[in-house]
């Protein structure tokens, strides 16, 4: 079993903006989990994620959205003592890379519905097979959601446990599906002041294995629905063909909020 990098190597990796980390570890208030990144097949997406990691922007961020049997979402906000949480400063959006399928245990970039190349810092982990919803071309013209890695080992035990944490509708835009541990009695009370313990906090995301390539043993599933839906659009058929009304609703959810 691989061990964590030494503090010296970890510091060097953290400070290198060009690090090629193919396995990262999310260290959270509710347990740790590892993600194997597709750094060779989705290079722009992985490089973008690593830039935020290396800059420390994910440090002490929170899981700001969970949806039953769908996703947990983070990389977008921090709790700084008051509600609503503070949105992270983001860099320029990146090109979309819809190579892999949004099956269970994959991590994807969140983006604005209707805008293909709009992903910045936010990511989400699929807690079930969402291929039929997130793999085809967005009916609003935003393209498929780009998978850039997979949760490995027993990491989904942690992810699924986070998905089970009761949510609070704070009433603030973007924070209406906010997981808040031990806060249900105060949820909706305008005078209540939460503490850091009432959030799922990502203390940091660290480089666990910076080997150039570690995803050979993954059974990664390619996205085949995106090309099909694009071809249908080119033939002037109905937008998305087999996409259901449920898919339309889910795709319209606020995957990416900006300040």
Tokens of 23: 């396995």
Across residues 7-22, what is the average pLDDT?
45
Q: How confident is the model over 55-95, as pLDDT tens digits?
A: 999 999 999 999 999 999 999 999 999 999 999 999 999 99
204, containing H or E segment: strand 201-209
Q: How many degrees, rounded to 5, is the angle at CA 73 between CA 101 and CA 180?
A: 150
Chain CA centroid to CA 246, Å:
21
Is 258 inside a domain boundary? no
Is 214 inside a domain boundary? yes
Q: What is the CATH number of the domain that holds 190?
A: 2.40.100.10
Is 220 inside a domain boundary? yes
Is 178 inside a domain boundary? yes
- Other Cβ atoms less than 10 A from the Cβ of 15: the count is 11
Tokens of 10: 């970890």
Is 1 inside a domain boundary? no
Is 52 inside a domain boundary? yes
The count of structural domains within the chain is: 1
Q: pTM of the predicted model, to two decimals?
A: 0.82
Q: How confident is the model over 174-184, as pLDDT tens digits?
A: 999 999 999 99
Q: Could you tell me the residue range of the domain that residue 142 belongs to?
A: 7-251
- Tell me how far apart the alpha carbons of residues 58 and 23 are, in angstroms, rounded to a whole number: 16
Q: How confident is the model over 217-245, as pLDDT tens digits?
A: 787 899 998 765 554 444 444 444 444 43
Is 2 inside a domain boundary? no
60 in the Ramachandran plot: left (φ > 0), alpha (ψ -120 to 50) or beta?
Answer: left
């Amino acid at each position: 079993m691989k061990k964590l990098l030494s503090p010296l190597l970890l510091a060097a990796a953290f400070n290198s903006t060009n690090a090629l980390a193919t396995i990262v570890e999310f260290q959270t208030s509710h347990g740790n989990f590892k993600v194997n990144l597709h750094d060779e097949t989705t290079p722009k997406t992985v490089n973008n994620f690593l830039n935020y990691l290396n800059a420390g922007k994910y440090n002490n961020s929170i899981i700001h959205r969970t949806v039953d049997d769908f996703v947990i979402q983070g990389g977008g906000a921090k709790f700084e003592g008051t509600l609503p949480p503070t949105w992270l400063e983001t860099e320029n959006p990146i090109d979309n890379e819809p190579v892999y399928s949004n099956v269970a245990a994959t991590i994807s970039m969140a983006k604005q519905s209707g805008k293909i190349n709009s992903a910045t810092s936010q990511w989400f982990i699929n807690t079930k097979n969402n291929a039929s919803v997130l793999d085809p071309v967005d009916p609003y013209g935003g393209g498929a959601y780009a998978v850039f890695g997979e949760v490995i080992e027993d990491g989904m035990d942690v992810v699924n446990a986070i998905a089970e944490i009761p949510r609070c509708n704070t009433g603030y835009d973007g924070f209406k599906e906010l997981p808040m541990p031990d806060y249900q009695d105060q949820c909706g009370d305008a005078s209540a002041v939460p503490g850091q313990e009432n959030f799922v906090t990502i203390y940091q995301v660290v480089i666990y294995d910076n080997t150039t390539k570690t995803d050979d043993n993954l059974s990664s599933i390619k996205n085949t629905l995106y090309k099909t839906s694009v071809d249908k659009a080119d033939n002037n058929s109905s937008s998305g063909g087999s996409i259901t009304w449920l898919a339309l609703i889910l795709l319209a959810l606020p995957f990416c909020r900006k300040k």
